[in-house]
Amino acid sequence: DGGITQSPKYLFRKEGQNVTLSCEQNLNHDAMYWYRQDPGQGLRLIYYSQIVNDFQKGDIAEGYSVSREKKESFPLTVTSAQKNPTAFYLCASKSTDYTEAFFGQGTRLTVV
């Protein structure tokens, strides 16, 4: 089935560690996104990428890094510089401007 796969579904991280969240899509979409959602809050854009080997910072990029080496993949690394990383992370993709985005099932990250 075509779609977006995020893994893992739940992730626990010790303070001071970097962790990488996976996002893979087989929809042949050009654009991919990472959003952060805190409890009871809306979606805040972390990074987005419109083509391979290119990406732009969103509204809350500090403490995060991404890469886009393949069209299908857009991994997000939460670095130790992110002071409050506990949140729900959603990955999305879409084909062109103005079309709807499709979302993965999310990764819930908890710092322990």
Closer to another protein at the Cβ: 7 or 17? 7
Helix (H) or strand (E) holding 76: strand 76-78
> Rounded to an integer, what distance in angstroms lies between the CA atom of residue 25 and that of residue 109?
20
Nearest to 79 by CA among 22, 34, 18, 20: 18
Report, in Å, the least distance between residue 54 CB and another protein: 11
Closer to another protein at the Cβ: 80 or 108? 108
Give contact residues for another protein (rule: CB under 8 A).
31, 33, 35, 40-43, 45, 48, 50, 58, 88, 90, 92, 94, 97-106, 108
